[in-house]
Amino acid sequence: MNKYESIYVIKPTVEEEAIKALVERFSTLIQQEGGQVDNVDEWGKRRLAYPIADFKEGYYVLMNFTAEPTVPQELERNYKITDDIIRFLTIRVDE
């Protein structure tokens, strides 16, 4: 099992309840795939360094988790098919 760090940016137009649902959805996905979510840190709305899809700000969420190497691939696949995610990045953290 490896440690990973994933950050994703949600569109700023998404309702607060929908944001909570997305965060819960991705955490649940990791657990269903046999991983363990260590920490979910919601940074909130922040200004983007440059406009992405005509948005100048986004809602940032940082998630630390431990999982098998196949889990980040499934997580990123779900990021890609979710319309409310405008950017994401998942990296393996060395101990």
pLDDT single digits (tens) 42-88: 999 999 999 998 999 999 999 999 999 999 999 999 999 999 999 99
Query: Tokens 């965060």 map to which residue?
Result: 23
- Does residue 93 belong to any structural domain of this protein? no
pTM: 0.89
Domain with residue 28: its CATH number is 3.30.70.60
- Does residue 38 belong to any structural domain of this protein? yes
Phi, psi of 79 (to 5 degrees): -60, -45
- Does residue 64 belong to any structural domain of this protein? no
Domain of 34, in residue numbers: 2-59+69-88
- Does residue 6 belong to any structural domain of this protein? yes
Task: In whole angstroms, give the CA distance from residue 89 to residue 69.
Answer: 15
- Does residue 82 belong to any structural domain of this protein? yes
- Contact call for residues 61 and 45 (beta carbons, < 8 A): no
Domain count for the chain: 1
Task: In whole angstroms, give the CA distance from residue 58 to residue 46.
Answer: 6
**Sheet of strand 2-10: strand arrangement:** 36-52, 55-67, 2-10, 85-93
